[in-house]
Amino acid sequence: MKIIIVGASGTIGKGIVEELGPRHDLITAGRTADLKMDITDPSSIKAAYEKVGKFDAVISAAGHVKFAPFAEMKEEDYRFGIDDKLMGQVNLVLIGRDFINDAGSFTLTTGVLDCDPIPMGTSATMVNGAINGFTIASAIEMPRGIRINTVSPGVIEEAMENYAPYFRGHQPVPAARAALGYAKSVEGLQTGQIFRIN
């Protein structure tokens, strides 16, 4: 399969590339990748898809939100996560519908905060919940046999050096294990699923 991986240079993205690389034709996409793409800019997404032409799958391991105490969060802080992680991934699907092959698949990314919030994570929990909802609802209307799923991994083991103070009591997940959720989504037949990797 020809698979576009958005965010391939990140911790999870590298795990996905290692897992799927031996079996598929991977195209890495992002602000600094071979295929230039900024998910906050719909015209950038469309231009990248036009450059690739037809493809079989899109995996998104990209998107940012703001982490800050709830008492300090303002509208623009929530808007940042909405415009970046939420609408960035939604637009990968909306624009990608016109380019993806029949029976292709989209795989989005949320994370454990979608159902297990932490202090300073209100934006992440809100955005992740919205992405999950989009996945479940859009799956029942996807045309041409196209599938969509989301992978929701726990805090990634390789990132614990930076995140450990915020995730006390959480069992870290190695990036290689998280990558299996993406393989299940792309290479399987399920749709409208949230694959939780704990």
CATH of the domain at 125: 3.40.50.720
Q: Are 86 and 131 in contact (CB under 8 A)?
A: yes
Q: Are 61 and 17 in contact (CB under 8 A)?
A: no
Q: Please name the residue that has the structure tokens 């454990």.
A: 112
Taking phi over 0 as left and psi of -120 to 50 as alpha, with beta for the rest, 116 belongs to beta
Q: Measured between alpha carbons, how far is residue 134 from residues 48, 54, 79, 112, 139 in Å?
A: 23, 24, 17, 17, 8
Which parts of the chain are beta strand (E)?
Answer: 2-6, 25-30, 35-36, 55-60, 100-109, 147-153, 194-197
Q: Of 136, 111, 23, which Cα lies nearest the Cα of 60?
A: 111
C-alpha triplet 74, 65, 149: angle, nearest 5°: 130
pLDDT one-digit tens code per residue, 69-123: 999 999 999 999 999 999 999 999 999 999 999 999 999 999 999 999 999 999 9
Which parts of 63-162 are beta strand (E)?
Answer: 100-109, 147-153
Domain range for 177:
2-197
pLDDT one-digit tens code per residue, 13-29: 999 999 999 999 999 99
Grouping H, G, I as helix, E, B as strand and the rest as coil, residue 4 is strand
Q: What average pLDDT is seen over the chain?
A: 97
Asked whether the whole model's pTM tops 0.95, one would answer yes
Paired sense of beta strands 35-36 and 100-109, if any: unpaired
**Which one-letter DSSP state was computed for residue 54?**
S
Q: How many domains does the chain have?
A: 1
